[in-house]
Structure 1
């Protein structure tokens, strides 16, 4: 259930008469994708979801660069490509296709999300919307989703197990990789337009 004040704020953005982009940032496991998907469901034809995760580098490239063990860190994404897509989405007068991230494959998949020209609101969510200056400058608003660390870590471990990691490996990954990324993400909290308590 999306809080009424958040839904109204998003609806107001969609009603400005020109394409707007709303970002939802937060640490890994904060619930960004759940909130973003809920907003899009509630707004119907007024909004499309374009997650930042579609700009993960492919696993083969991460291995070539020696970064596979840090997947999810800022330098394991195509930050420039993400910003370029945001810029295109702001001004495009035609259909734009965006990539998605398939968690079962653990790979980005190009051309997965159609963004019709007439959709007034694009909602994007991801860890680094407040970290990458070029991306931040292209967003009309950014909301920072905040949740207690214990619940966030519990969700992350469960997610990694659900997608194939053994419990001990999932806990190790969260403790080392995800939590290092979380500290970096949380440093950008003050740059958000709105801080939203997570559920």
Structure 2
């Protein structure tokens, strides 16, 4: 088991991960790094910090941008569990990753998910052929069914982020309230949708190349370690 220096500071952890990310592209070829983990673990925060550290050497592409539109989820009667594996355009996501892998175009545009409106905005993220590292983050990068099994083969390395279930749940409730849900509705959605999805995602942890326990932004989680998961 590989283990890095234990730290409870998020910024220090990101610095450590940035070193590893840069090593992926040391060969001079494009690499695609996947970052996954259950809802509320802090994927978006960590990825934004990592992208800032890497600067022009990396671009961030979110799996969430391939949410099916709310209108389509209504038609499919899946709106009440948005975020489940079958509420995404997984084929479109895989197609984009393969296009980015091929580097056949000077510029590729990716969509971006806008949480404030709970919808995706097309062609919002420009990715130049010269950008060496693509970082893609999302819940189901290691899932082995429903079309998601095609994702892992396109990624060079996958990191699994984790945090205690109660910490994740509290973050999710606050997030839902921030975006307009009542406290009771935020609790219900967290328990009935997010945490059920989290159980599916956590079961894929063993397929990751690296497992990372994530402290919060204030570094309140002691003894944080970086490790390669068993198996």
Q: After superposition, where does 1:107-186 map in structure 2 within 5 Å?
A: 107-131=119-143, 132-186=148-202
SS in 1 for 2:109: strand
Which residue does 2:21 correspond to in 1?
A: 10
CA deviations on 1:58-114 (whole Å, 9 max, x unpaired) are: 000000000000100000000111011000001124100000111111101110101
CA distance in 2, matches of 1:99, 1:168: 32
Give the Å deviation of 1:2: 4.6
Indicate conservation of the 8 Å contact 1:2/1:38, yes or no: no
Matched, 1:53 2:64: yes
Which residue does 2:115 correspond to in 1?
A: 103
TM-score, structure 2 normalization: 0.85
Give the Å deviation of 1:6: 1.2
Unpaired stretches in structure 2, ≥5 consecutive residues: 1-10, 216-231
SS in 2 for 1:50: strand
SS in 2 for 1:72: coil
CA distance in 2, matches of 1:5, 1:175: 33
Matched, 1:77 2:88: yes
Larger Rg: 2
Q: Runs (4+) of structure 1 moved beyond 4 Å?
A: none
Indicate conservation of the 8 Å contact 1:26/1:186, yes or no: yes
Q: Pick from 181, 187, 190: which aligns with 2:206?
A: 190
SS in 1 for 2:83: coil
Unpaired stretches in structure 1, ≥5 consecutive residues: none
Deviates more, 1:84-93 or 1:22-31: 84-93
Indicate conservation of the 8 Å contact 1:2/1:35, yes or no: no
CA distance in 1, matches of 2:24, 2:62: 18
Aligned residues: 199
CA distance in 2, matches of 1:16, 1:112: 29
CA deviations on 1:34-73 (whole Å, 9 max, x unpaired) are: 1111111000010000010000000000000000001000
Higher helix share: 1
